[in-house]
Amino acid sequence: MFRVAVIFLLSVSGLLAEKLDWQAIEPDLVVPEVVSGKPAPGKRVRVRFHEYQDAQIYHALYLPSDWKSGVKYPVIIEYPGNRHAHGDGSVESCKLGYGISGGKGVIWISMPFVDPKTKANAPKWWGEVDTTVAYCKKVVAQVCEDYGGDSKKVFLAGFSRGSIACNFIGLHDDEIAKLWCGFICHSHYEGVREWPGSSAEGAAERLKRLGDRPQWISHETSVVSTRDYLQQAKPDGKFTFVSLPFPEHTDRWVLREIPPRMALREWFWKVVGEK
């Protein structure tokens, strides 16, 4: 299984090997602004659970522009990166889900790391881990029950901090680990090095919960360090590795019609079709 993933890496790397000035290409997508109001097709709205009505804790729900009641849709649950020079660490900063779907055919949720102490979404790292995990479970249940999310086609995605969270949060316990049909991990990966709250031993234990579910793993310039780690940590894993042909630590490339996005979309819809 792992050998197949490495062959795919080499073929994709051949496609993307030449350095790409992605910033010179005009975006063909603009991420919708998060607004207040009721969910509706093509609208990205701020959602607060009842217990957080008096707090600044919320997620963003996007129903695709072609959404219809009674129809089942794949779901992308996405965690943002940390607050840094190129992002504010907010749910508003998420982009991967919209870049993959183009706003159609997929329900997209931008997720918070929940900090009950500050009563706000955490702009850096995990907030309170157990609370963040519980919040995520509740969101997935609600989107499947109320908005037509297909429980067999729920993906977990993230950039940077969010990519680490795919395993750190998404495989935290057996209950949350069962929610996902696939993972999209862009730029960083739990276990390759130590991160706040994440040890090598803990990462290895969480990775056992992955099973044979597929992960897209991409990184700017080179994904070799993650590939080498996983060859040792989970040699039977179903991983697709893509080294992006540019050095920028960003998720903005998904808003442009470039080969890496084409490859990611092809991978996503292939997994959807297999479920």
Indicate the domain borders of the chain. 2-274
Q: According to the model, what pLDDT value does residue 19 have?
A: 85
Task: Tell me the pLDDT band of 171, cut-offs 50, 70 and 90.
Answer: very high
Q: According to the model, what pLDDT value does residue 275 have?
A: 84
Average pLDDT over residues 250-261: 96
Q: Taking 90 as the threshold, does the pLDDT of residue 4 lie above it?
A: no
CA distance 46 to 62: 9
Average pLDDT over residues 191-202: 94
Residues facing 217 on adjacent strands? 185, 241
Locate 244 and state its tokens.
Answer: 């992006």
Phi first, then psi: what are they for 165, rounded to 5°?
-65, -20
Q: According to the model, what pLDDT value does residue 18 have?
A: 66
Phi first, then psi: what are they for 183, rounded to 5°?
-135, 145
Interacting residues of 274 by C-beta distance below 8 A, sequence separation 6+: none
Average pLDDT over residues 10-26: 68
Q: Taking 60 as the threshold, does the pLDDT of residue 16 lie above it?
A: no
Q: Taking 60 as the threshold, does the pLDDT of residue 7 lie above it?
A: no
22 CB-side CA count, 13 A: 23
Task: Tell me the pLDDT band of 84, cut-offs 50, 70 and 90.
Answer: confident
CA distance 106 to 67: 8
Q: Taking 60 as the threshold, does the pLDDT of residue 9 lie above it?
A: no
Quick one: CATH architecture of 2-274?
3-Layer(aba) Sandwich (3.40)
Amino acid (one-letter) located at 62: Y
CA distance 77 to 150: 12
Q: According to the model, what pLDDT value does residue 251 have?
A: 96
Average pLDDT over residues 175-185: 98
Q: Taking 60 as the threshold, does the pLDDT of residue 6 lie above it?
A: no
Q: What is the pLDDT of residues 103-157, one digit of tens each?
A: 999 999 999 999 999 999 999 999 999 999 999 999 999 999 999 999 999 999 9
**pTM over the 0.85 mark:** yes
Q: What is the mean pLDDT of the chain?
A: 93
Place of tokens 């044979």: 212
Task: Tell me the pLDDT band of 87, cut-offs 50, 70 and 90.
Answer: confident
